[in-house]
Amino acid sequence: MKKVYIAGPLFTKAERDFLEEIEKLIKELGFETYLPHKDAGVFIRGKSSSEEFFKKDLDAMKNCDILVTVLNGNEVDSGTAWEIGFAYSKRIKIIGILDDTRKPDNELLNPMIVNSIKIVNSVEELKRVLQEME
């Protein structure tokens, strides 16, 4: 069974809800998932260890087949950008979902992101691309 690491900003309830929606879809397609805020625990400064969170995420990334990232927002989340770079260096397949209406043109993203991943513009398109990878 292929393993999918799901990356994206997780600082608001809405961000976490969107990641969980993506996780549900991926599981329904038969993939195993790793979702940092569920599987490593939410890092809360002063209440949990950022080092432990980092190590769990890194181990999961080293063992995944596919990285699915959320690219929404004014800028790609810095942690997500790091995860993309790491996955790219390990030749892990990367799919980025960008359904943010403020960015109708993928060229508004950093060229390092645009040229290292497959970008989809909806959850439905993500589903189609993942089905092709089964």
106-128 confidence digits (pLDDT tens): 667 888 999 999 999 999 999 99
Give domain status of residue 40, yes or no: yes
Checking DSSP bridges between strand 3-7 and strand 93-97, what pairing results, if any? unpaired
| Average pLDDT over every residue of 72-81 | 92
CB 116 within 8 A of CB 68: no
pLDDT reported for residue 104: 66
Within-domain flag for 108: no
Q: What is the DSSP letter of 42?
A: -
Average pLDDT over residues 39-64: 80
pLDDT of residue 40: 83
**Average pLDDT of the segment spanning 90-101:** 93
Q: How confident is the model at residue 84 (pLDDT cuts 50, 70, 90)?
A: very high
Q: Is residue 8 part of a domain?
A: yes
Rounded Cα distance, 56 and 102, in Å: 33
Range of the domain at 8: 3-102+113-133
| Mean pLDDT, residues 57-76 taken together | 95
CATH number at residue 62: 3.40.50.450
Structurally, the chain folds into a number of domains equal to 1
Query: Could you tell me if residue 107 is inside a domain?
Result: no
